[in-house]
Structure 1
Amino acid sequence: MEINGYSKTRNNKLYKTALSKYEEAIDKARETKPADQSEKTARLPQEGKIIKGEIIDLRYQEAKIRLESTGQVITAKIDGKVPLSIGQSAEFVITDKTDDQITLRLVSSDNNPMHDIIYKALSAAGLSASEKNKAIVKELLNFQMPVDKDTILKLIKLTASYPNTDIKTLLLLLKNQLPVNPVNIAQLEAYQKGMHQMLGDLNILTENIKVYLENMFLQTNDNAVISDKPAGKTDTINPNQANGITEETVKDLYNLQNMGEKTSNLKENNLSEDYIYPNSNTNNIGFDKILNLFKQLLYILYDGKTGIYKAETPLQSVLAESQTAGFLEFIRSLTDLNADSGTNLDNTYIFPNPENSGNIINAEMSKPYTDRDIGSATLRDLMNLIFDLVDKGLIKSPDENIIPSRLFEAFIGISSTLSDTEKEKLIKLLKAGNYHHRITNTLHKRWTLSPESLREDITDKKFFRRLYEDLEKLKGLSEYGLLESENIRTPINKLQDNLQFMRDLNELFLYLQLPLRLAGQDSHGDLYVFTRKNKAHSNNEQLNVLLHLNMANLGPVDIHMAMKERQINAVFYLEKSSEQLISSHLHELSDALIKLGYKIQVKTKVSESKPDFITDILQKDASVKNVSRYSFDIRA
């Protein structure tokens, strides 16, 4: 009985306590101001914001939540089926907010830790949990970058400034402290797509310069407009108004009153001053324009060290001894042919003294034609002799084997002293000799790397400095009206942007593009050295290098080399069609390196996938100690 009595008493006490708590909760709920839903929603943060509170009532998918920050009670719809209970405190994100309804989504740390971190990072930064902001924080975490407020805000601003740019591209630039601007974005995207090859733009530039020069010949000979269209497809207009350059504009460039300013600007662009010192008595600006353009291109090709020529300069001061002998032999054969034909040349070019006139092969020395006669003749005399030979049909195609390029250069060098008639004949001679092809072929050789010069040109990056300087000079010629073609300006700008981006990359790791000139073909190459430049290296540290080549017949070739001291381990990653051929010749490479004192292990592997080396290096820590950090079993 005592036990039962005790039990009844205890149960009564528990019941009274529970009833008291229940009534207390009811009273508390009744004391809450019955503000309407629109008032409650008006006080809430906007969509995407995170709220935290205690669930005080829960019926199906609708819950009453007392907010932790203000004590306000709201009624909201819960998105999705989630395990909630009365009395539970939780974080929610506002996914929808209308006049009479709030929709919340639970922020769960149990099912998705990344999801939880993203929401907490945005909450700590006081930012909304919009899809865009969540994507930004997610990528920051993937790139192992800070998710503090400043970094998130910086990315938000960048994505607003470049809405069409992938967040990953912006992060790659930001993480590596590369300037985020339209040029670098375009360059990085080109690298990611494998469309960054400098070689293509170099070939386009040389070809467009050649077409431009061809059309300048048309302008001077046929009064055709200079353009970037193929020769023969241009419209006929006044040559002094070609491409909008009027006679007044050109004369302004020639105005000696402005010489100081013009000279200063030319020096800033590393251009020759010859352009602003034309023959002031000329009546055909087109003649001066093409001759001065050739003069400026020669100035570029010779790094500003072109010869100083005068009309009275003798031949032996222009050509090397071997070239002089060959040229004289050529002239001898033509004059002998001319004598047999019974036609006299105008000997005053070679013998200005009337008493020495007569048949050129019966010269003044009481013996037949001598080398000394033409060898001591002046440039103007030789030029007019060649004009005469061309007019008489004795020289039909003055190619390199007939008239050396150096002699053409000398004729161009004295062009400002020539009459309009002589200039016109010189331009026709240059056109007949395809001199514009010689110029562009030389530019191509200058702007590509041969296997023989590769080591010397890239050791101190001499090649890239020279190329950038050449592009600056060409841009200057465009600004001065000598290269007025959008098809020339565009590749110049693209190449300069590419070189600048490559320079920025080299602040992080060693990387070089290699525009290669091989036997019978050009080939693009990429050289990667997988090590951070700002890290100290020991002499016995392994060096990892990747050389990527695009070969016309072999396809893409990736050669990975790991070298430590004098031990080399090399793997050639190839397409299946070329793997057998390369394998059969690997012993030749091994034998050559062994003779140089190296130990080598080399093999081939077939690879069909496509990598993105730049992204891989920029996204990861490039200070690798072994190749396993990177995927080399791939091709570009």
Structure 2
Amino acid sequence: MNSIQVSQNSNKASNSLSGNGNTGRQTGYSNYSAVSSGSNTQGNLNNTSLTGTQTASPTANVPTGQILTGEVIDIKRNEVSIKLPNKDIITVPYKGTSELKMGQRITFQVIIDQNNHPGLELMNTTSSPLKSTIMEALEAAGLPKTNSNQEIVQELLNHQMSIDKQSIQDIFRASLVHKDTSISTLVLMTKHNIPINETNGKQFENYRNYEHRIVKEVEQITNILPNLMEDLGKMGSADKMAAFNEQILQILLSDDTKTDNTTVPSTLSLANKETQELLLLLEKYPLDTGLRADIMNQKADFMDVVTTLYKDFELAIKADENILESLMADGEVDPSRLNLNQDAFKIPLINEIMEQFSSYQYESGQIGAFLSSEDRIDLLQQLESIPPSREIKQAILSGTITTKEVLSYIKDYLPLMDEKLMNRILTGKSYKNILKEHSLSKWTLTPDFLKKENSVPSLYEKMYKQLSELEELTTNLNKTFEELSTNTSIHKLENDITATKQNLDFMKTLNELFTYVQLPLHLRNKTVHSELYVYTNKKELKKNKNNVSALLHLDMDHLGSMDIHVTLNYNQILAKFYLETDDSIQLVSEHIDELGEILIRKGFLVHSEILKKEKEIDIVKDFIEKEPQISSLKRYSFDIRA
């Protein structure tokens, strides 16, 4: 990277590195660019940083009067630094009245005032000489000099592309066909060999405008599915509702490896001190010797421990009632002053155990993670006429049955139900919640599942396949059931499925330009939009997998938007957390050491910084334009290893 300081004693900028000069203004349209294009470099962790290892481009002496385009990267009291497209940085005295901003893209020329002092003059794109160049290019292309056509040439220049006749006419023709796609997007799609069509244009602009979140589209689909079932029930078409439900379950329950609870560890994990504290509590009541040994050896099953805690808590309450009854027989007693047996269960350790159990239920897909005891009882009462086995009853009441098991059970027994019972179950609150949570778990990632190898590509492959099957199902239902022609739910469902599939297709295309993937996370009781960007270009990543720079973007309910820049060099991690508010910074600061301790135990040396977030990610400027152009696209493959 060359640093160019415009001196007050010279009409040219002096270059700190030697190289071949490039001082003349180009006049041929086929090669014309506002500035010469530099070589591609590997990006740094911080996308606003000016430091890093970069390949020096040719010396770029800047004679007075030459028109340049660049990005404002630093503003001081009387000077401004501008990064040129070839990676050179020029620093120029500036005392203008125009308000420049960091990151702003400007067209300018270096001038010399009457006192022989250099300065910066901003160019109005509607004035000469840039205006003259644009007009000449349009004239050579045989196009009228309308504002929209001038914008075509301007955008080609902004992105360092040729403004020859063919290039201008190609964008002109595309703009006539795709009127809803901006000229800037059409130019970028052309530059990076992204096929220009209505779908890609819309998706590209969604990504540029931050309206591309797959997790939001998935949530909409999973909300509509149960409601559509209810709509069919209200239309009095029990057979259509039953058939639709059976086909949906056929799709959702097929190849269901993600919700298999055998993949989730079911043992309680406690430190030695906590283990002793738990045993002291449990030994006050009858304790199975096998469970005691399992707790000591860190092999205790969650369900065994939680069941024992509930049983002992009930014994403690009964003992307290007997004590109170005896004391009150002797006179008035204030219970608040008594040290009750049940108080022993109101300690942080029990909260931690129940938290672990709740996480286990959630990761396992058990209904106890989201269905209240009242809703579970209601579901069981609806199923009584079948009736379920003793084991199924107990699993429903305890909340340990999985969504897959409930849906499979209902699918098998639905043909045996009368129309009234079937309608009550399929449109009931409990069943609708179970169907929603199961479908949501199929198309999102839990933290535990995210750890598995190839979890992300397998998720998207399965999601695309199942959405295609669901799309075919809704299309057929629409054709065979005329009453649905005015139903808003099914039309919304069809649109959301189409939009999600288009989003997945476009993400595959983007992944050919730079390593990127969305991570639709499903945490307890909420979903979270997350994105992973890898700064290190793919060629460098293949050469050295031990040196990677990446960015993880998260949209959290309470923390707000958060960017985590991570650089991994062998076992050394540099992590920078960028947050929007002081409260978020304070909260993360209070817990950052916990993250450090976990990573240290895994063998990493960690340095963390927590900073105020000043700008949002620009997917074009920060990533697409950082990578070299790719000549061909493999449309159905992901390269998302990180």
TM-score under structure 2 length normalisation: 0.52
Match 1:529 to one of 516, 521, 534: 534
Counterparts in 2 of 1:615 and 1:300: CA distance versus 1, 3 Å? farther
- Letter paired with 1:292: A
Partner Cα separation in structure 1 for residue 614 and residue 218 of structure 2: 29
Corresponding residue for residue 473 of structure 1 = 469
Structure 1, residues 286-336: CA drift from partner, whole Å, max 9, x if none? 333222222222212222579xxxxxxxxxxxxxxx9xxx9xxxxxxxxxx
Residue number among 289, 309, 320 corresponding to 2:240 in the alignment? 289
- The question of whether the paired residues in 2 share the 8 Å contact of 1:191 and 1:614 is answered with no
1:387 to 385, 388, 398: 385
TM-superposed deviation, 1:536: 6.8
Is the 2:471–2:494 contact (alpha carbons within 8 Å) kept by the matching residues of 1?
yes
Residues 435, 472 of structure 1: CA spacing in aligned structure 2 closer, same or farther, 3 A cutoff? same
Deviations 1:130-153 (A, max 9, x none): 443332122111101122221111
CA distance in 2, matches of 1:124, 1:401: 74
The secondary structure found in structure 2 opposite 1:194 is: coil
Given candidates 189, 195, 202, the residue that maps to 2:205 is: 189
Counterpart CA distance in 1 for 2:209 and 2:383 is 57
Candidates 604, 617, 620, aligned match of 2:610:
604
1:467-499, Cα deviation, whole Å (9 max, x unpaired): 111211111110221795112112111111111
Change in Cα spacing, 1:408 to 1:178, as seen in structure 2 (3 Å) is closer
- Quote how far apart the aligned CAs of 1:552 are: 0.4
Distance 1:531 1:180 in 2: 27
SS in 2 for 1:481: helix
Amino acid at match of 2:603: G
Superposed CA deviations along residues 9-62 of structure 1, whole A, max 9, x for unmatched, are: xxxxxxxxxxxxxxxxxxxxxxxxxxxxxxxxxxxxxxxxxxxxxxxxxxxxxx
Aligned to 2:411: 412
The alpha-carbon deviation at position 180 of structure 1 amounts to 1.4
How far apart are 1:435 and its partner, in Å?
Answer: 2.1
Q: Distance between the aligned counterparts of 1:502 and 1:142, measured in 2?
A: 25
Q: Which has the higher contact order (CA 8 A, sep 6+)?
A: 2
Taking the TM superposition and a 5 Å limit, the aligned residue runs for 1:132-531 are 132-216=148-232, 219=233, 224-225=234-235, 239=236, 286-303=237-254, 386-387=384-385, 406=405, 409-410=408-409, 412-413=411-412, 415-416=414-415, 418=416, 422-431=418-427, 434-456=430-452, 459=455, 461-481=457-477, 485-531=490-536
| Structure 2 Cα separation of the partners of residues 203 and 621 of structure 1 | 32
What CA deviation, in whole Å up to 9, does each residue of 1:395-424 have, x standing for no partner? Answer: 9xx8785998636634533555x4xx7354
Distance 1:184 1:167 in 2: 14
CA contact (8 A) 2:252 2:439 kept: yes
- Bigger CA drift: 592-601 or 489-498? 592-601
Counterparts of 2:213 and 2:450, CA distance in 1: 18
Amino acid at match of 2:441: K
Matched AA of 1:296: Q
- Alpha-carbon distance, 1:500 to partner: 1.0
- Aligned to 1:525, the other structure's residue is in SS state strand
Q: Which amino acid aligns with 2:241?
A: I
DSSP 3-state at the match of 2:531: strand
Q: Write the distance in 1 (CA, Å) between the matches of 2:159 and 2:222.
A: 41
Q: Distance in 2 between matches of 1:400 and 1:433?
A: 18
Cα distance change of structure 1 residues 160 and 499 upon mapping to structure 2, 3 Å threshold = same
| Separation (CA, whole Å) in 1 of partners of 2:409 and 2:542 | 52
Is this contact kept in 2: 1:196–1:498, CA < 8 A? yes
Q: Cα gap change, 1:582/1:472 in structure 2, threshold over 3 Å: closer, same or farther? A: same
Given residue 445 of structure 2, which amino acid in structure 1 is its aligned partner?
A: L
Greater shift, 155-164 or 572-581, is seen at 155-164
User: Residue 600 of structure 1: SS of its match in structure 2?
Assistant: strand
1:389: how far off?
7.2
Distance 1:443 1:119 in 2: 56
Q: What CA distance in whole angstroms lies between the structure 2 residues aligned with 1:429 and 1:386?
A: 11
Cross-structure match for 1:594 = 600
- Residue among 567, 578, 581 paired with 2:587: 581
**Which amino acid in structure 2 is aligned with residue 537 of structure 1?**
K
Q: For 2:448 and 2:410, locate their aligned partners in 1 and report how far apart those are by CA, in whole Å.
A: 33
Relative distance call for 1:556 and 1:383 in structure 2 (3 A) is closer
1:152–1:399 CA distance, 2 compared to 1 (3 A): farther
Q: Distance in 2 between matches of 1:402 and 1:548?
A: 34
Provide the aligned length of Structure 1 versus Structure 2.
368
Secondary structure of 1:201's aligned partner:
helix
Counterpart mapping for 1:23-42 below 5 A = none
Distance change (3 Å), C-alpha of 1:134 and 1:423? closer
Q: 1:500 to 1:432 in 2, by over 3 A?
A: closer
Q: Higher Cα Rg: structure 1 or 2?
A: 1
Offset from partner CA, 1:429-486 (integer Å, 9 cap, x none): 5555832321111111222211111132755611111111121111111022179511
Q: What is the aligned-residue identity percentage?
A: 30
Q: What's 2:568 paired with? A: 563
Q: Once superposed, what is the RMSD of the aligned Cα atoms?
A: 3.6
Q: For each residue in 1:258-284, what CA deviation from the matched residue of structure 2 results, as whole angstroms up to 9, or x when unmatched?
A: xxxxxxxxxxxxxxxxxxxxxxxxxxx
Q: 2:544 is matched with which residue?
A: 539
Supply the AA of the counterpart residue of 2:408.
E
State the distance in 2 between where 1:127 and 1:412 align. Answer: 64
Q: Are the equivalent residues in 2 in contact too, given 1:471–1:496 (CA < 8 A)?
A: yes
The 8 Å contact of residues 524 and 550 in structure 1, kept in 2 or not, is answered as yes
Displacement of 1:177 in angstroms is 1.1
**TM-score normalised by the chain length of structure 1:** 0.52
**What SS class does the counterpart of residue 448 from structure 2 fall into?**
coil
Aligned residue number for residue 627 of structure 2: 621
Distance change (3 Å), C-alpha of 1:591 and 1:400:
closer
